[in-house]
RNA sequence: GGAAGAGUCGCAUAGUGGUCGAGUGCGCUCGCUUGGAAAGCGAGUUUGGUGCAAGCCAACGCAGGUUCAAAUCCUGUCUCUUCCGCCA
């Protein structure tokens, strides 16, 4: 949610920033008129309330003294009606303002380039594309022949976009998660295991609702979506809502969390033929990092989250690139996003394994999360998040980048301690 | 899932229709006192809206309702506690 005060004081500045990510910039004339109207209505109604409070005190006194208060009571009746009408007008104005502001995305940071996906640019690269002196296999063939993933039975028991990790495949998946968990623990992040079913308020605060309500799996325990629960599409939703409606004491900051959860997404219409196997599914595992901090610190923590994500992929020895997203490619709540993309040879391209973002105060406003500054004033916090990491594109990358001529796959050294002595995955 | 009870300012509580936005205790902050501390004494200690400001207005889980007037009465709802049922 954008700050109405900012729009009031610098509408053109806000428009200029939004133009970096929106094709058509909103016109604020109407919302500012409603805002002025709202404030005038508030002032009128508060004067009426003051009168009512005074009258009420007088009636109490008159009654106490045994005197007649019928004149004051009659006056109170008239005032009460006016206040009720005024309240309705204020509520209408506020609803209008909310409806105008709620769909607007966050303001991109100055360093974020304008435009859509085509303006994304690579800012760093690690490692090199692997070369083979044999014909390499794709990850679906490798995972199947090595008995790591059972796609057919996944489809049988669940349907399309589902798979089953089996045996060493499950162990490899779990090893990755443990490798991430140990890393974050060593960095002093607090481990959170959240519920996977979240309520409407959580979805709204995170910016998923109402716009993206069709992208999540909504349970139908109740026909009213606002009373139903949904499966979290990312642990970010849970981690942001942990402190919804709270004022966090300044000496508790920053709060650094990480969380493991499966992520459940409908991915409606996003299937592409090149996205075979486990590139895109209804459910995938992810460790999410999340930081709450004072506004001044958020650039520093953005860098920290990005470095963490990069270090994790570096530790696996995989070739990857880091991409700065253009304003229009960042999700609506985010002011700046960098993606970490691992190389998948069979796709001749890079796939996202981490997305690191700062929401500045946009999410905090929606979720009402504040702290006190040095002067004791209540101020909005900044929230940042980053995957650390998602596994479902890493396994294809590991299988393909580390494959040998005989169809076996070398396990990255960082995972050896979690794999019960397996250093090379071979066919049975 | 059923029944009963409860939700008030960091914590614990008082408050059943009108000078109650709200008393008290604890905690915390500042001051006095002291060589220093404790004790004691005094002051302060929620959030938001609106206004240039003084100020004013709002909020007693949440949402409605009754009333001239609601922390207080009514309805719904959420959460918690206890008991029962079910259960990994």
Query: Per residue in A113-126, pLDDT tens?
Result: 999 999 999 999 99
Query: Nearest 5°: CA angle at A133, between A131 and A138?
Result: 65
Q: Spell out where A185-254 has E strands.
A: 190-192, 197-199, 229-231, 246-248
Q: Which of A31-40, A70-79, A145-154, A325-334 has the lowest mean pLDDT?
A: A70-79
Residue A190 Cβ < 7 Å to strand B: no
Residue A276 has pLDDT above 70, yes or no: no
Residues 118-147 of A with CB under 7 A from strand B: none
Cα dist from A201 to A138, A211, A368, whole Å: 42, 13, 12
Per-residue pLDDT, averaged over A319-340, amounts to 96
Which tokens belong to A94? 């506020």
A82 beta carbon < 7 A from strand B?
Answer: no
Positions of chain B reached by protein Cβ under 7 A:
18-19, 47-51, 55-58, 68-69
Structure confidence at residue A278 (pLDDT): 65
User: Smallest CA–C1' separation from A74: which nucleotide?
Assistant: B68
CATH of domain A117-425: 3.30.930.10
C-alpha distance across the termini of chain A, in Å: 55
**In this model, does residue A2 exceed pLDDT 70?**
yes
Q: Is the pLDDT of residue A171 over 80?
A: yes
Write down the residue that tokens 């390499």 correspond to.
A136
> Is the pLDDT at A88 greater than 70, yes or no?
yes
Q: Which residues contact A296 (CB under 8 A, 6 or more apart)?
A: none
In this structure, are strands A369-372 and A246-248 parallel, antiparallel, or unpaired? parallel
Percent of chain A with pLDDT over 70: 96
Q: Where are the domains of chain A?
A: 4-101, 117-425
Tokens at residue A240, please?
């942001």
Count CA atoms closer than 13 A to A111's CA, side-chain side. Answer: 8
Quote the CA–CA distance of A245 and A26 in Å, as a whole number: 29
What confidence tier does A215 reach under pLDDT thresholds 50, 70, 90? confident
CA A321 to chain centre: 22
Radius of gyration of chain A (CA): 27
Helix (H, G, I), strand (E, B), or coil: what is residue A101? Answer: helix
- Separation in Å: B13 C1' and A123 CA: 60
Q: Is A423 left (phi over 0), alpha (psi -120 to 50) or beta?
A: alpha
A338 exposed, middle or buried (CB, 10 Å; 0-12, 13-18, 19+)?
Answer: buried
Alpha carbons A211 and A423: distance in angstroms, whole number: 46
Query: Cα separation of A229 and A219, whole Å?
Result: 5
The CA distance from A358 to A299, in Å, is 8
Please provide the size of chain A in residues: 428
CA–CA gap between residue A255 and residue A96 (Å, rounded): 35
Nearest nt by C1' to A39 Cα: B50
The CA-CA-CA angle for residues A2, A39, A10, to 5°, reads 40
Q: What's chain A's average pLDDT? A: 91
| Domains A4-101 and A117-425 in one fold | no
- Longest Cα pair distance anywhere in chain A, in angstroms? 105
Domain A4-101, classified CATH 1.10.287.40, yes or no: yes
SS (H, E, C) A112-167: CCCCCHHHCEEEEEECCCCCCCCCCCCHHHHHHHCCCEEHHHHHHHCCCCCCEECC
CB A260, CB A285: distance < 8 Å:
yes
Report the predicted TM-score, pTM, of the whole model to 2 decimal places: 0.92
Instruction: Specify whether the CB–CB gap between A409 and A152 falls below 8 A.
Output: no
Q: Considering only residues A222 and A128, tell me which one the structure prediction assigns the higher pLDDT.
A: A128
Q: Does nucleic acid strand B have an atom less than 7 angstroms from the CB of A61?
A: yes
Between CA A347 and CA A136 the distance in angstroms is 12
Is the pLDDT score of A365 beyond 70? yes
């Amino acid at each position: 949610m954008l700050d109405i005060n900012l729009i009031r004081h610098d509408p053109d500045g806000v428009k200029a920033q939004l133009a970096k990510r929106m094709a058509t910039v909103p016109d604020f004339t109407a919302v500012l008129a409603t805002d002025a109207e709202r404030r005038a209505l508030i002032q009128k109604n508060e004067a009426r309330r003051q009168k009512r409070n005074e009258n009420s005190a007088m009636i109490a006194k008159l009654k106490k003294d045994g005197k007649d208060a019928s004149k004051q009571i009659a006056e109170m009746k008239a005032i009460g009606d006016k206040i009720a009408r005024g309240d309705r007008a204020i509520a209408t104005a506020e609803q209008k303002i909310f409806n105008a502001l709620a769909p607007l995305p966050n303001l991109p940071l100055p360093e974020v380039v304008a435009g859509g996906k085509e303006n994304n640019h690579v800012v760093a690269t690690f490692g090199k594309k692997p070369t083979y002196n044999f014909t390499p296999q794709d990850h679906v063939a490798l995972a199947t022949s090595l008995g790591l993933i059972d796609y057919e039975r996944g489809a049988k028991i669940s349907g399309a976009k589902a798979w089953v990790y089996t045996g060493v495949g499950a162990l490899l998946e779990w090893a990755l998660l443990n490798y991430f968990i140990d890393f974050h623990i060593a960095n002093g992040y607090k481990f959170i295991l959240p519920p996977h079913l979240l309520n409407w308020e959580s979805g709204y605060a995170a910016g998923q609702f109402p716009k993206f309500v069709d992208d999540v799996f909504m349970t139908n325990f109740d026909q009213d979506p606002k009373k139903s629960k949904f499966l979290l599409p990312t642990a970010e939703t849970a981690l942001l809502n942990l402190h919804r409606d709270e004022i966090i004491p300044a000496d508790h900051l920053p709060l650094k969390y990480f969380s493991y959860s499966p992520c459940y997404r409908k991915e409606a219409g996003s299937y592409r033929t090149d996205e075979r196997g486990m590139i895109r599914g209804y459910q995938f595992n992810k460790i999410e990092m999340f930081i709450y901090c004072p506004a001044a610190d958020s650039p520093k923590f953005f860098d920290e989250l990005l470095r963490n994500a990069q270090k994790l992929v570096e530790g696996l020895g995989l070739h990857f690139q880091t991409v700065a997203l253009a304003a229009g490619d960042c999700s609506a709540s985010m002011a700046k996003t960098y993606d970490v993309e691992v190389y998948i040879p069979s796709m001749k391209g890079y796939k996202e394994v981490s997305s690191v973002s700062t929401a500045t105060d946009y999410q905090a406003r929606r979720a009402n999360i504040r702290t006190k500054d040095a002067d004791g004033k209540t101020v909005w916090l900044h929230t940042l998040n980053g995957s650390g990491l998602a596994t479902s594109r890493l396994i294809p990358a590991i299988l393909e980048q580390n494959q040998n001529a005989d169809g076996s796959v070398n396990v990255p050294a960082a995972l050896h301690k979690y794999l019960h002595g397996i250093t090379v995955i071979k066919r049975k």
